[in-house]
Structure 1
């Protein structure tokens, strides 16, 4: 990527070395430019926070080692950015493109150790242009820190195999990185399974490599140490997050639908880009004679296979296989460099670059323009501020300090808009079984004595059946266009809750 610390000034005068340095500087400049443009898009975008982003922000206001639906790392990152830059939408999202830049640099270094400088450059270019990275550089998600952590872990293993790191230290740090990834998203566990599968494969094939049982134990120790805060949190909270993860997989609702398998695989063309994913599929063939290639297989194909089975049995979102892409990116970059198929790489990355331009433009404009589908995905990022304005008018009119929402989305976004005020947010849990963060931690109840005014925001025309609440007649209506053919229409009810001492 850059000249080593042992490269002298006289070495830099050598034509080939100087040429490599210039190319590396151009690639690094390109990565920084793309990241800066993506950051600018975040700064000027009119799009509002999504539901998950608002919920992650809400978590960040009460730092902990775990939350109802996710581990804590995303909340820690957002909390730090929010503390540094203030209560701004862009402050929530700004870490995303820079974390992806770090991931690209890590993959650059890793691929260069396997197949030389060109492989490293290709890995960085392929990664920064992936459509899932373009989207993930605007909307912050748990996948972003997960991918960085897994890329660091992969770099450590490759570094050990290529004598860049001491095996004991390298595998311990690798475990720490996977543990940090576990704090981002439990999909980090795939890396552990992949490492064990790879070690078994090497042993059965008689391959001599530098990873022994002792090194694997150090890897496991590092992972447990880094992941221990969330492990302990789950132990003391009835395995709340783990149980929610099982509910999210939805294995009990079996469909055995081949169409969902097709939908999941088509989704991967959207995640990686059509050209890049076709190339990734094209190189998934024997021989698998080298240990690094086997490692890439074990860190990618089992994830894709498992999620394909999940899609067949029940359902699987396209991004659920995203943990396989650091390994696939390095594998493809090495193949392009070693076979001199740069034209294929250039064509596929060019397609992704065009997609990236569309995504950046849509982020800046707040609209997909002529590319807008009938079910405009950006509609979920519009209209919340207008709703908050309508709700605030009702709060002031009735001198209320409590908003009772009918769903997680409304609670999350109202929490964001009424930040640093004396307004409380609650959700009415109709069945008494918490299914999200707000039903578990902010459920509406009667823990007050006396009388208080409340405002309920509901999608139904009839006021919610809340205990000990008398509703006033004639709710107000908040209705705002959020896409060409859709509006968000919610009813705002005012009432009085009376609780006996």
Structure 2
């Protein structure tokens, strides 16, 4: 019997070997990458240096994961990102288990492979983002909920509560899961009585208990994370943003893959068929409404392509099962080969990041290049001028400086909010400049010929020299530019 046949029959050794091989390849790609940390990643690393139950824009789990991996492997970029491929590998195994329960061993095997090769997962395995632990928590919650509905009793109910609670500590988007659970149970005649189950109420209580420390942190800080989440929605009026909606939907063909997303739309079109399998309805209930929520968000304002990420776990299992129909064999193979090709490109590309150039596109990875060199030059400039503090006006710049100038002995601050406004990011909340800091310093502005804030004197600052320009390559044809102003106070 071939390895593939053994895998399709549910041999766990084959499944673990495949997931282990893909994960190891992605870890090796992280180690070989020439990419710098993106500024969100650098920010999460800085949070990890200050363990807490909450941060300005996100719950704490992302920082805890980075703290764990860097405590073991050090602070290199690959170590900061290490939990991404590892957790995606676990998520794939969980979805394989769910697919096996719903559709049989063959569907379980290919659900695991399908998730590993989804373009968004291949890309996400090279970065550390809040979606990574969120998707694992969502997958675990799906599996636990199905086991509970299948008569699993208290064990699956407790697992469901833990999964939802952990997911809430990854990203508040996890709050959709209990809402969708209520809708699914209420809309399914044979399950409505389960809404009043003490086990389900206990699961909800466990989830609330696990997110309680974060709620307490938010209460102590003016609920800044909730304010940020609300502001991110950016609902500004009754005007409908048709272009934004089309952009979001179009992006899903790239995020989930063209065949897989088309398969999800086809499944949605037949949602109310009387012969629809119960397993299909279960998975559609935890994928389509997620996309619906963010389609509305896109229509009213905007929605990033990844905001619908929690639709993917259920969608992958569902569409994989549909594509395994012998009549769709060609589509099944096309999807897998296309996704495998994308995954292979994304494994190789980071090692070429500094020299990569595509016709008409330039360097698609320039957002994660040039930061290390720019901050190294900035640190050397500060040392040469005897500056003790670097003052920034932009979150991206201070986040990168905190990471790449760690151990330099420099102080780091941002200009405080103006006109009585509240903090707009974590650094304005925790590192706002005060003249009580030791001087002199350098005020770092993004771009060339940047204009300093007009009210420097009101902040207790004065210019102490001519502007300086730092420019380092970020790819083949562009540079990352900073304007640096010597200041004193």
Query: Could you state the TM-score of these two structures normalised by the residue count of structure 2?
Result: 0.92
What SS does the corresponding residue of 1:446 show, helix, strand or coil? coil
Tell me which of 162, 165, 180 is aligned to 1:176: 162
Mapped pair 1:439 → 2:425 = no
260 and 22 in structure 1: CA distance in 2 versus 1, 3 angstrom threshold: closer
What's the CA shift for 1:207? 5.3
Match for residue 189 of structure 1? 175
Tell me which of 265, 270, 287 is aligned to 1:300: 287
Q: Which moved more, 1:452-461 or 1:265-274?
A: 452-461
Tell me which of 483, 488, 496 is aligned to 2:488: 496
Tell me which of 463, 470, 479 is aligned to 1:478: 470
- Residues 315-357 of structure 1 deviation map (CA, whole Å, 9 limit, x = unaligned): 0001000011111112122323466644322211211111111
430 and 172 in structure 1: CA distance in 2 versus 1, 3 angstrom threshold: closer
Tell me which of 6, 13, 17 is aligned to 1:29: 17
Determine the C-alpha separation between the residues in 2 that align with 1:415 and 1:41: 25
Determine the C-alpha separation between the residues in 1 that align with 2:477 and 2:237: 32
Mapped pair 1:399 → 2:386 = yes
Mapped pair 1:259 → 2:246 = no
What's the CA shift for 1:218? 1.9
Match for residue 385 of structure 1? 372
1:241-256 equivalences in 2 (<5 Å): 241-252=225-236, 255-256=239-240
What SS does the corresponding residue of 1:445 show, helix, strand or coil? coil
Match for residue 89 of structure 2? 101
367 and 161 in structure 1: CA distance in 2 versus 1, 3 angstrom threshold: farther
Determine the C-alpha separation between the residues in 1 that align with 2:488 and 2:177: 53
Tell me which of 318, 322, 329 is aligned to 2:309: 322
Match for residue 296 of structure 2? 309
Mapped pair 1:222 → 2:206 = yes
446 and 226 in structure 1: CA distance in 2 versus 1, 3 angstrom threshold: same
1:275–1:351 contact (8 Å) kept in structure 2: no
254 and 475 in structure 1: CA distance in 2 versus 1, 3 angstrom threshold: farther
422 and 337 in structure 1: CA distance in 2 versus 1, 3 angstrom threshold: same
- Residues 143-170 of structure 1 deviation map (CA, whole Å, 9 limit, x = unaligned): 000000110111111223344xx32221
Tell me which of 91, 101, 113 is aligned to 1:125: 113
What's the CA shift for 1:303? 1.0
1:66-215 equivalences in 2 (<5 Å): 66-163=54-151, 166-202=152-188, 205-206=189-190, 213-215=197-199
Tell me which of 53, 64, 75 is aligned to 1:65: 53
430 and 393 in structure 1: CA distance in 2 versus 1, 3 angstrom threshold: same
Determine the C-alpha separation between the residues in 1 that align with 2:92 and 2:125: 12
Determine the C-alpha separation between the residues in 1 that align with 2:147 and 2:153: 9
Tell me which of 44, 51, 57 is aligned to 2:32: 44
What's the CA shift for 1:274? 1.2
What's the CA shift for 1:100? 0.1
Match for residue 218 of structure 2? 234
Query: Could you state the TM-score of these two structures normalised by the residue count of structure 1?
Result: 0.89
Mapped pair 1:269 → 2:253 = yes
Structure 1 segments unaligned to the other structure (5+ residues): 1-12
Match for residue 265 of structure 2? 281
Determine the C-alpha separation between the residues in 2 that align with 1:85 and 1:27: 27
17 and 325 in structure 1: CA distance in 2 versus 1, 3 angstrom threshold: closer
Structure 2 segments unaligned to the other structure (5+ residues): none
Match for residue 353 of structure 2? 366
Determine the C-alpha separation between the residues in 2 that align with 1:71 and 1:279: 33
What's the CA shift for 1:367? 5.6
What's the CA shift for 1:483? 3.5
1:176–1:225 contact (8 Å) kept in structure 2: no
Match for residue 332 of structure 1? 319
What's the CA shift for 1:373? 5.5
Q: Which moved more, 1:429-438 or 1:219-228?
A: 429-438
63 and 118 in structure 1: CA distance in 2 versus 1, 3 angstrom threshold: same
Q: Which moved more, 1:98-107 or 1:474-483?
A: 474-483
